[in-house]
Structures are given as structure tokens and as C-alpha cells.
Amino acid sequence: MSHDDFDQEPIKGLPELPPEGEVILWQGRPDWWTLTRESLNLYWVAGYFLFLFAWRFIVLSDQVTLSQAISGAFPFIVLGGIVAGLLMLTAFIQARATVYTITNRRVAMRIGAALTVTLNLPYTQIANATLDLRKGGTGTIALDLIGDNRLSYLVCWPHVRPWVMRRTQPALRCIPDAANIAQMLSDAAEKRVTSPVITRNTPSAQGNAVAAE
């Protein structure tokens, strides 16, 4: 028996088959290492434990031998290594559980490792998109939603624009080749929003009766 939670998806990353006329343009996920550094602040955490190690070493060096001072401060290095490992594991799991989808009509985000949710964001509900491009080509595309479309920052984290909590902006975090993906999204959104929507009005039964008279 398969234990894959996403076996029931008709298409990877989507809870149901796309409607007729909708075409998937791109699918991807965050780069887990970049996500560790940027979203979980790996370097800041590592620096904090290095600071504790140095502080403890300096305090002990005036009281004991050099080797004893290193031994007394070394637990901070061990603890820092454990925390860094947990952060990397968290980012890896988050990245593996995530699927970002760009179609000609919307952006869909399957996010969450423990509690999985899928966000469907039609282009008509997106006011603008902001690209934060980083060295190496990875970047984050944040989506500013129109009107009263509000999302929970905590539910969406880390797939949000950092520190923007008043109006949560869902984001495609730390994706490779971000500049080209952003251009693709921009072109698809512009085409979708500017395309006229044509509906056909069918005469009602009453209208037919009146015309027949």
C-alpha cells in the first residue's frame, strides 16, 4: 500500500484536473539550500552559536588552561551544529513537499509539510508581482493580492514575502532561474488580464414566447 500523501492528485501539485483551455506553463519548488539560508536564517543562527563559543572561551581562558577553555566552550559548537542540522532538515522537507505551478490562468501553490494546503491565485486577483533576485539566479516572486483577499502569514510561511504581515503576500520562495520564471508569469498574467471575456446570452423561454407572438 502506498503511503504517499499526494497519490490522489490527478496532476502533481494540483488538487484537480485543470479546466478546458488551461495550460501548465511551469512547475517547480524552492531550492532547499537557499531556503535554509534565506528563510531559516542559517548563517545568523550559526553566527550566534559561534559568538557564544567565543564568549565562553574568553571567560574561561582567564581561569583555566587553553585546552580546558576550549573543552568548556565546545558544547556551544555541538549545540549549534544540531540546530543547523535541524534547520537544513526542515528546509529540505518543506522544499520537497512544495509544488509551485504557473498556468496561463493562475498561480497554484501546494505548500506545507505537516498541514498541506493548495492556494489557487487567479491572475485577476493579483495586483502585482515583485521579484527579489539573488546572486546565483535564485529569487523570490511575491504576489500582492487585490482587495480583501487575505491569507494567514503563519499558514503560508515560509512561502510568503518576509516580514510583510499586514497584508500577507504569498510568494514563490527561493526558486532557481527566477528572472525567467518571473518574465513567464508576467507575460501570462498580462495576456490573461487583457484578454476580453466573451459570454453568450441565450434567449429565455419567456423571451422566445414574446418573440413568437
Q: What is the pLDDT of residues 126-166, one digit of tens each?
A: 999 999 999 889 999 999 998 777 888 988 999 999 989 88
Q: Quick one: 74 and 151 in the same domain?
A: no
The predicted structure's pLDDT at residue 207: 45
Q: Is the residue at 206 inside a domain? A: no
Q: For residue 213, how many other CB atoms are within 10 A of its CB?
A: 5
Which has more pLDDT, 206 or 109? 109
Q: pLDDT band at residue 198, thresholds of 50, 70 and 90?
A: low
pLDDT digits (tens, 9 = 90+) for 162-196: 989 888 999 999 999 999 999 999 999 998 877 65
Grid cell in block for residue 60: 574561561
On whether the CB atoms of residues 110 and 116 are closer than 8 A, the answer is yes
Does residue 199 lie in a domain region? no
Q: Is the pLDDT of residue 203 over 60?
A: no
- Is 207 part of a structural domain of the chain? no
> Hey, what's the cell of 190?
498580462
**Helix spans in the chain (H):** 32-38, 42-61, 66-97, 153-156, 178-194, 205-212
Number of domains observed in the structure of the chain? 2
Q: 66 and 122 in one domain?
A: no
User: If you average pLDDT over every residue of the chain, what do you get?
Assistant: 86
141 vs 101: CA distance, rounded Å: 13
Average the pLDDT over 8-35 and give the result: 89
Per-residue confidence band for 209, with pLDDT thresholds at 50, 70 and 90: very low
* Residue that wins the pLDDT comparison between 30 and 151: 30
pLDDT of residue 61: 86
8 Å CB contact between 178 and 138: yes
Q: Which of 67-71, 76-80, 172-176 has the lowest mean pLDDT?
A: 67-71
Give the whole-angstrom CA distance, residue 201 versus residue 130. 39
Domain of residue 110: give its range.
105-192
Predicted pLDDT at 3:
40
Contact 172, 111 (CB under 8 A): no
Q: Where is average pLDDT lowest: 40-44, 79-83, 91-95, 192-196?
A: 192-196
| Cα separation, 191 vs 45, whole angstroms | 43
Record the cell numbers describing residue 163, joined without a space.
Answer: 516580514
Q: Which of 143, 145, 123 is nearest to 193 (CA)?
A: 123
Angle (deg, nearest 10), helices 66-97 and 42-61: 170
Are 172 and 123 found together in one domain?
Answer: yes
- What would the grid cell of residue 117 be? 494546503
